[in-house]
């Protein structure tokens, strides 16, 4: 119980560029996990960040893949996950959200709530993940702080409780007032923000503090604080845990302002590891899916299985991410497992849901960016890396009790399609091997056209940037250059899972559309546009199409 209670597993989420990776790096700095903070736009003589370690990330200055960072701070064991903000990589981000117990939502205070933040917020809400908010970039002209709180309430429909309050705006931004201790924290800027920012702490009327503020800033701050006292909500841990309120922290990640307050405030109030629900048996689930596809509402929704508490005696966990070639020296693949219940011990033998076989977990690691270290035990809340199991796939459950199966991982509907050619036949092996690996990682999906002699893989992605990542990584990690060719489809729909091959022959297909199979051999139809998909529905009334990928694999 003690080990469970000291774990905090959380993700940092937001719209692209709000400062997630920068904040992650600063949390590592203040958490004592790095001595010197790197920067996302690493110039000469400057370290890159710990979480954007991938070649393409360093090159582009954006996050492409989520990163796990485990470290100890102040009696806690933190499992922090930095996520990519770009919507083309949202599948990766959404998978991470299944593995955490709370999130820090970063907002660019000049921009307010941006579309991708809003989407991610909704997913957190659906999953009941408590949300802490960091209003970043207060060192630049921002929206009015009260307006930002109002936006949270209006746009996201969540109560906002300002834990601290910014003092001065933009270039005049000097620090924050901690409403709980009633203390001002005034910071000094340091070059590059590599080290902790020097800070002066004191009461509102302390001479030293008062002397650093001009009259206008001082009076405005006093006024705003009084207003908050009268108008605002009270702090309420239950409301935070129930997703009704988000505690709000102001600051600037690149200048290290307010980072310590966020870290300490977050740890004090963030929930420890939560259990997960074991899914219903696959056959029951399939019936439910079919009923849903047919618009039959009388069936119970999925996820009706038993709740497996973290203190459940059996070890259980699920794989939410796979990543190959993290360390160029090893060139192996790591499966990221979130421990849900019981205790993990190295060398233990567990049941693997996909193969229904027993496997021994001998190579387990704690992760810190692309660094790893052997780990002998792990507890609920921990994310560990497992090496050397090619049969592990995203979504698989590992457990000492075969009765437990988790079905946490959402699947996405692709919206971009492209053929990927291998122009260099001598590199055929590398090309195929690399592509298979990237598909296993879930970087991309592949579809197989029915009745086709074409051997070129048809790739399907949520967004076109994913193709770029595939091409870059194929070349960089496997030495295989590739060429993209646009495919004529923009819409994919799943056919009922129980359709037989001869049923497929009888479909009446609109011009330009094709039947294909997904990796699970489930039949789909590719359409040139929405209109064509609607037309299909009208002409094939007895064949309901599903927008969401079918979750099962056909035997
Ligand atoms: N002025 C200012 N700039 C900041 C601050 N925090 C981050 N930035 C800058 O914002 C840009 C984006 O920062 P990142 O940390 O890469 O943002 P991100 O949210 O991780 O972006 P993606 O992972 O690509 O979605 C970088 O140029 C940072 O230097 C801040 O507090 N103030
Ligand atoms: Mg980032």
Sign of the Cα torsion 185, 188, 191, 196 reads negative
Ligand 1, atom 9, lies closest to the CA of: 19
Q: Is 104 in the pocket of ligand 1 (CB under 6 A)?
A: no
Q: Where do the DSSP E strands lie in 457-518? A: 458-461, 483-486, 491-494, 514-517
Q: Is 107 in the pocket of ligand 1 (CB under 6 A)?
A: no
Q: Is 140 in the pocket of ligand 1 (CB under 6 A)?
A: yes
Q: Is 245 in the pocket of ligand 1 (CB under 6 A)?
A: no
CB 176 within 8 A of CB 166: yes
CB 502 within 8 A of CB 127: no
Sign of the Cα torsion 472, 474, 476, 477 reads positive
Residue 23 φ/ψ, nearest 5 degrees: -65, -40
In angstroms, the first-to-last Cα distance of the chain is 41
- Ranges of residues in the chain whose predicted pLDDT is under 70: 41-46, 232-233, 280-304, 550-555
Q: Which residues sit opposite 11 in a β-bridge?
A: 81, 103
Residues 6+ apart with CB under 8 A from 376: 345, 346, 364
Å from CA of 169 to ligand 1 middle = 18
CA atoms of 332 and 389, how far apart (whole Å): 10
75: left (phi over 0), alpha (psi -120 to 50) or beta: left
Six token digits for residue 180: 């709980």
Q: Is 51 in the pocket of ligand 1 (CB under 6 A)?
A: no
CA atoms of 410 and 392, how far apart (whole Å): 17
Residue found by looking up tokens 């692709």 in the block: 414
Question: Closest ligand 1 atom, CA of 84?
Answer: 23
Mutate to test the pocket of ligand 1, among 11, 13, 16, 17 (most ligand atoms within 8 A of CB): 17
Nearest to 242 by CA among 309, 179, 159: 159
Mutate to test the pocket of ligand 1, among 48, 254, 258 (most ligand atoms within 8 A of CB): 254
The model's pTM: 0.88
Residues 6+ apart with CB under 8 A from 440: 322, 324, 333, 393, 394
Residue 339: enclosing H or E segment and its boundaries? strand 333-341
Task: Give the pLDDT score at 269.
Answer: 94
Å from CA of 279 to ligand 1 middle = 38
Task: Give the pLDDT score at 299.
Answer: 44
Task: Give the pLDDT score at 304.
Answer: 46
How many residues are there in the chain?
Answer: 555
Task: Give the pLDDT score at 51.
Answer: 85
CA angle 89, 94, 96 (to 5 degrees): 105
Ligand 1, atom 32, lies closest to the CA of: 137
Å from CA of 117 to ligand 2 middle = 13
Nearest to 459 by CA among 516, 507, 509, 504: 516
Q: DSSP per residue over 196-208, as a string?
A: PPPEEEE-TT-HH
Ligand 1, atom 28, lies closest to the CA of: 19
Task: Give the pLDDT score at 264.
Answer: 96
CA atoms of 49 and 79, how far apart (whole Å): 17
Q: DSSP per residue over 350-378, as a string?
A: EEETTTTEEEEE--EEEEETTEEEE-SEE
């Amino acid at each position: 119980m003690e080990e469970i209670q000291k774990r905090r597993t959380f993700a940092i989420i937001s719209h692209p560029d709000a400062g997630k990776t920068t904040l992650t790096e600063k949390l590592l700095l203040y958490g004592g996990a790095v001595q010197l903070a790197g920067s996302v736009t690493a110039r000469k003589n400057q370290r890159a960040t710990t979480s954007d370690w991938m070649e393409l990330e360093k090159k582009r200055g954006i996050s492409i893949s989520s990163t796990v960072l485990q470290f100890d701070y102040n009696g806690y064991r933190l499992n922090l996950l930095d996520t990519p903000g770009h919507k083309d990589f949202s599948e990766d981000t959404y998978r991470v959200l299944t593995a955490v117990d709370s999130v820090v939502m970063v907002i660019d205070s000049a921009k307010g709530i941006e579309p991708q933040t809003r989407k991610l917020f909704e997913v957190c809400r659906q999953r009941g993940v408590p949300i802490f908010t960091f209003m970043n970039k207060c060192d630049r002209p921002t929206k009015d702080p009260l307006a930002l709180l109002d936006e949270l309430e209006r746009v996201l429909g969540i109560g906002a409780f300002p834990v601290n309050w910014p003092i001065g705006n933009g270039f005049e931004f000097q620090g924050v007032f901690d409403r709980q201790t009633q203390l001002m924290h005034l910071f000094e800027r340091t070059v590059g923000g590599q080290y902790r920012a020097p800070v002066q702490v004191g009461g509102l009327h302390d001479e030293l503090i008062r002397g650093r503020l001009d009259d206008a800033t001082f009076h405005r701050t006093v006024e705003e604080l009084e207003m908050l006292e009268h108008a605002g909500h009270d702090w309420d841990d239950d409301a935070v845990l129930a997703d009704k309120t988000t505690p709000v922290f102001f600051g600037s990640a690149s200048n290290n302002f307010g980072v310590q307050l966020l870290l300490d405030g977050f740890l004090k109030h963030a929930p420890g590891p939560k259990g997960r629900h074991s899914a219903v048996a696959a056959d029951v689930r399939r019936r439910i899916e079919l009923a849903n596809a047919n618009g039959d509402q009388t069936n119970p929704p999925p996820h009706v299985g038993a709740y497996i508490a973290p203190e459940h005696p059996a070890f259980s966990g699920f794989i939410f991410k796979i990543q190959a070639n993290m360390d160029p020296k090893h060139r192996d693949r790591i499966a990221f497992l979130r421990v849900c219940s019981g205790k993990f011990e190295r060398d233990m033998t567990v049941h693997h849901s996909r193969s229904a076989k027993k496997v021994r977990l001998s190579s387990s690691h704690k992760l810190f960016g692309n660094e790893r270290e052997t780990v002998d035990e792990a507890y609920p809340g921990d994310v560990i890396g497992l090496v050397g199991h090619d049969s592990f796939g995203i979504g698989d459950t590992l457990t000492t009790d075969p009765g437990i199966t988790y079905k946490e991982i959402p699947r996405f509907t692709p919206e971009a399609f492209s053929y990927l050619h291998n122009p260099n036949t001598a590199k055929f092996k590398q090309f195929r091997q690399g592509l298979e690996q990237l598909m296993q990682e879930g970087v991309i999906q592949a579809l197989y056209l029915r009745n086709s002699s074409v051997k070129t893989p048809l790739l399907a992605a949520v967004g076109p940037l994913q193709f770029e990542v595939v091409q870059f990584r194929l070349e960089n990690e496997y030495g295989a250059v590739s060429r993209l060719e646009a495919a004529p489809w923009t819409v994919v729909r799943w056919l009922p899972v129980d359709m037989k091959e001869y049923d497929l022959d009888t479909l009446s297909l609109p011009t330009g559309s094709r039947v294909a199979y997904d990796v699970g051999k489930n039949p789909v139809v590719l359409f040139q546009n929405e209109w064509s998909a609607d037309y299909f529905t009208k002409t094939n009334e007895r064949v309901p199409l599903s927008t969401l990928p079918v979750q099962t694999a056909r035997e």
